[in-house]
Amino acid sequence: MKRYLASALAVTTMLTTPALADDAALREAAKEYFEAIPMNAPALPSGEAITREKVDLGAMLFFDPRMSKSGLFSCQSCHNVGLGGVDGLETSVGHGWQAGPRNAPTMLNAVFNIAQFWDGRAADLAEQAKGPVQAGVEMNNTPEQVVATLTSMPGYVDAFKASFPGEEDPVTFDNFAKAIEAFEATLITPNSKFDQFLMGQDGAMDEQEKRGLQAFIDTGCVSCHSGINFGGNGYYPFGLIEKPGADILPEGDRGRFAVTETADDEYVFRAAPLRNIAITAPYFHSGKVWDLKVAVDIMAESQLGEKLDEGTIDDITAFLGTLTGEQPQVVHPTFPVSTATTPKPAP
Ligand code: HEM
Ligand code: HEM
């Protein structure tokens, strides 16, 4: 009787669960779309060298709130290294306690994206780093003031000299951005369960996670979320098949339209990178969705016109959890001390 029950259960499971390709076949299928994150920082697309000195300087600049006008906000305020690189807010809060228009994406693995920001308006991390310092709702500073702040502290001047040897006047806003770029290139999260599976370890993912991977491929998520970062490499209308309501996709933010001013780019956004997605809620550029399962459900309907059943949503969500990699262990830097000539924080 027991045996009968067991085999009946097995048949029921087979009927309700789509057949899984074996591990080797699933791995081969996955390799067509995805790549593992390397263990070490990749070369920068700009060709700029990544040196120890530059990375250390970049870390100081990333964490130092004196780079903002108020002396309160640093990159770390909104891209918390201990929180998966995000602030966990619907939209970020910056200078003067103003809420910005968009959710902060993680800077972890951002070096692998073809362009930065939800709309891809910055070509690379160095160009990107110049934005938030000057943005009124973020750090509200000016390049001149940043350079004046840095020049006022011998510790910073020495660090710039060591990072950019041979340059006559190394304390520049361009070099500020280059040092941050070098630091950010080290903020990668290798060795996730998925990467271990991709590299040959069958046991790294459990059955549900493997079913989720298969469903992620079969449902068509891979058509936009592929490559090393599961996204960050192409632009698509949010609402390709069915436009989500204004509660999820606020009408005022028309995405790449603001960059290209082309009608075709209305509500077009960069396919969001999905590495570490399980630890970077809330979701979408509006930050309106807190539950990853709900985000998966919305994506399937809006981008693919598919109404997924609950089991498949659970499986895909479990699979997305395998994209959480080893988080960078960063020692909080000690900053050079302010001097009499360091510009004072201002409201
Ligand atoms: C976007 C780094 C400061 C909020 C980004 C991205 C990076 C980054 C790399 C793009 C990630 C991607 O597209 O996947 C930095 C650095 C900063 C800094 C290096 C310091 C110089 C801040 C601050 C805030 C903030 C202080 C909050 C007040 C945001 C938001 C976005 C963003 C909201 C998305 C903006 C959009 O797409 O329009 N940041 N960030 N960032 N960051 Fe920062
Ligand atoms: C965003 C998953 C299919 C394009 C997202 C996000 C998730 C996700 C979780 C939120 C990322 C974040 O907030 O950081 C999925 C899943 C899919 C799927 C599970 C399959 C069921 C697609 C397809 C496309 C696409 C087929 C392209 C046609 C995008 C875009 C965004 C995004 C453009 C950014 C949306 C925004 O501006 O907020 N996806 N996706 N996705 N996905 Fe997908």
Q: Please, is 184 exposed, middle or buried when counting C-beta atoms within 10 Å of its C-beta (0-12, 13-18, 19+)?
A: buried
Which of 32, 48, 127, 138 is the catalytic position? 138
Residues 194 and 274 in one domain: yes
In Å, what is the CA distance from 133 to each residue of 74, 152, 176, 283?
Answer: 9, 18, 11, 24
Q: How confident is the model at residue 21 (pLDDT cuts 50, 70, 90)?
A: low
Question: What CATH number should be reported for the domain holding residue 116?
Answer: 1.10.760.10
- Which tens digits make up the pLDDT trace of 62-72? 999 999 999 99
Residues 309 and 251 in one domain: yes
How many structural domains compose the chain? 2
Please tell me the distance from the alpha carbon of residue 35 to that of residue 17, in angstroms, as a whole number: 27
The per-residue pLDDT for 10 is 41
Residues 28 and 69 in one domain: no
Residues 210 and 163 in one domain: no
* Boundary residue ending a domain (135, 150, 185): 185
Residues 64 and 27 in one domain: no
330 part of a folded domain: no
Ligand 2 pocket, residue 118 CB under 6 Å: yes
148 part of a folded domain: yes
Mean pLDDT, the chain, whole residue set: 93
Say if residue 288's pLDDT is above 50.
yes
The per-residue pLDDT for 166 is 92
Say if residue 219's pLDDT is above 90.
yes
- Closest residue by Cα to atom 36, ligand 1, is 117
- Which tens digits make up the pLDDT trace of 115-132? 999 999 999 999 999 999
4 part of a folded domain: no
2 part of a folded domain: no
Residues 176 and 228 in one domain: no
DSSP line for 194-224: HHHHHTT-GGGS-HHHHHHHHHHHHHTGGGT
The per-residue pLDDT for 136 is 86
**Mean pLDDT value across residues 197-214:** 97
- Which tens digits make up the pLDDT trace of 144-169? 999 999 999 999 999 999 999 999 99
Residues 140 and 240 in one domain: no
- Which tens digits make up the pLDDT trace of 289-315? 999 999 999 999 999 999 999 999 999
332 part of a folded domain: no
* Boundary residue ending a domain (150, 185, 220): 185
Encoding tokens for residue 154? Answer: 């011998």
Report the C-alpha dihedral over residues 49, 52, 58, 60, rounded to 10 degrees.
Answer: -170
144 part of a folded domain: yes
Ligand 2 pocket, residue 223 CB under 6 Å: yes
Residues 208 and 316 in one domain: yes
Residues 225 and 110 in one domain: no
Nearest in space to 212 (alpha carbons), one of 197, 224, 228: 197
Residues 244 and 268 in one domain: yes
* Boundary residue ending a domain (170, 185, 200): 185
- Expressed in angstroms and rounded, the spacing between residue 144 Cα and the centre of ligand 1 is 20
Say if residue 280's pLDDT is above 50.
yes
Residue 160 belongs to what domain range? 52-185
Residues 110 and 194 in one domain: no
